[in-house]
Structure 1
Amino acid sequence: MGLAAGVFVLLMSVTGVLLTYERQMVSAAQNAAVEAPAGAEPLSVEALAEAAFAAGGTPGNTLTVQRNPTHVATLSKGRRDNSLLDPYTGEVLEHAGEGAEAFFGRVMRIHRWLAFTGGRNDVGAAINGAANLTFGALLISGVVLWWPRKWKWPLVKTQLFFRRGLPNAKARHYNWHHVLAAWSFLPLFLIIISGAVFSYGWANKLVYAAFGETPGGQGKGRAVVVAPPPELAGDVLPLDPLIEQATESFGNWRRVTITLPEPDASTLDVSVDWGNGTQSSKKRNVTVARDGSGLIGAPVGDVSSPAQKMRRYLRFVHTGEVYGFIGQTLAGLASIAAIVLVYTGISLAVRRLLRMKHAARS
């Protein structure tokens, strides 16, 4: 099982390492495309919203503005229809970060579907899915093989730390394999389980069934009382002071996402994010009166059903992003450990096969 799946696990691990900081690197490439005119100041949020409408945005679309006003703003018209806006001119940046997105997109398709060219490869997806499950079986059975016969520190220490002065490559590989498997077990287990949920419909259904829900069904999330929109008591204010009101209680906010309002709308919906963009626990939805009279109701967190929350958690625990930069780093280190586990596992397996073959001849 290990030898059959090893090359594919190796490929998924290498691509997993490359994808570790994808979000930060793509964002950096996009912001690097911005050329600040001499002496120019970044546009206000109000001006960026006008630029979004000029770029084809309509009420109901969203505009994401970073706390750093020199970073690009994002107009989203749909799940895959996004435009980047220059923070100084409001113009659409057609090719900002295009090279980085293309590179990571290809790496992702190899990681998920073995697609070295083109889009989804169903055969490659099936192979990677099976290899992932095999890796999970090897990891779990490895716990049995790793488990010390006696929990005495001198013995356990040999299973948890690298040893020096080992006589040959076989002994070194044996030591590396055990140590790295022990320290990387938990992150690798989460990566494998979450990967199976992406790969197999039955695994996805199990997640929903655990909470008494079905995929695509209307799970019971937290009820939110929606107050009727108030009448405007004064003139509509520009977006900038309204954003200040929305973020007043969130001093560490990083970005806000505005739902572009109808011209006569009396309220503005704002999503305040102080995480990395994937952490639902670090987002709140706020409704602000457009006449400047203040917030309407209390900030609202994630109202998804328990199964939907778990599905989202698995999506971003796979990349580690659910735990921020530290989580991403741990996921990347676990992928590096998996590369070494494949190498040492194949090395030990080949030696064992040769030894078995020699014994059979004898």
Structure 2
Amino acid sequence: MIITRKTFLQTTSLATASFLFPNFLKALTLPEAIAMNGKTLIILQFTGGNDGLNTIIPIKNDIYYKSRNQISIKENDALLLTDEAGINPNLKFFKELYDNGELAVMNNVGYPEPNKSHFRSMDIWHSASDSDQFVNTGWLGRYLDEACHDCTNPTQAIEVDDLLSLAMKGENKKAIAFKDPKKLFDNSQESLYKKLAFDNHDHDHDLASYLYSTLGNTVNNSEYIFKESKVKPTDKVYPTTQIGKDFKTIASLIKSDINTQVYYLSVGSFDTHTNQNQRQTQLFQSINDAVEVFTKDMKENGKFNDVMIMTFSEFGRRVAQNASNGTDHGTANQMFFISGGLKKKGLLNELPDLNNLNDGDLIYKEDFRKVYATVLKRWLNTNDNKILGKDNGYYDFI
């Protein structure tokens, strides 16, 4: 059977560019096995550069209010965490998590010589590289390279999206990306796709052989994922927002006891150069509502102590507002950790120091790679030094 590349790509949404790289094809056929420890990590990416100062608010800091006379969150509106800090009023459930000891907040997270480009800074966070290094593999992809040796399905890491992020791409292993298990399965059942996958193909070229082998694996794996997603479908009413649908997909898969240890999803855009408060309100409300239903779902099914949500954004925003009631690209930011299995809760360190800025930007105090090392070692139970290339030390919140 002869088919052009154009026809193939138009036939099914499963035939994305990531399936056409030799390393990806090899990743799906190499023997693999992961050391399962019962823990699940969910990465929630705040795409676009979330404004951390309007997320965890320094309610007693005059510099904050003078720098943001139009967009600051007033002390009376913030949900109080401590005498000095409040949380955005649209994150009401996060306040409940905080009160229950199920939320930890790491402030001032970043890296040396920060880059304010969305694309470059996101690459740095995804690859766990230095700002002057260019690495084509992601920290979670390298986790798959290190930890996987003999599993039957490439489902140890799943991104709930149409495309795979750099964070999830390793040298030999890669996660699998899809939005909807049913759509993934339905597309894999298209007649041309199945014909390509299972007809006999006599090819001398290794890449072509890998391609057809991978197509067959994809059909089988899509069926596996779809069946697992139906084993214990959630009866919770999730929000109809995209993030609500994404968390519903993850909840169904976690409850099915599929072998996935890492889930990745994104929400945005937080690039709030104009009318920041309106946009951040909408985003935080959608995040808050989805996380609330998901958390209650996990608790009712006895999973919450073994599930952790970790949030990050590629950078924060500048301290001073701009002339458009927004903020421009900044540097350091906070990260959230949500789980019933935290060893330390609440604010893990001090609020940003607004008296000590670098040309109007926050100065980072905690390296994000130390956070990654902690998660890899103490949550995923793997060799963080090998994955990250050096000893970064550990925090003690997990």
TM-score scaled by structure 2? Answer: 0.24
Flag the structure with more relative contact order, 1 or 2, with Cα contacts below 8 A and sequence separation at least 6. 2
Could you say which structure has the higher helix fraction? 1
Asked which structure has the greater CA Rg, the reply is 1
| TM-score normalised by length of structure 1 | 0.26
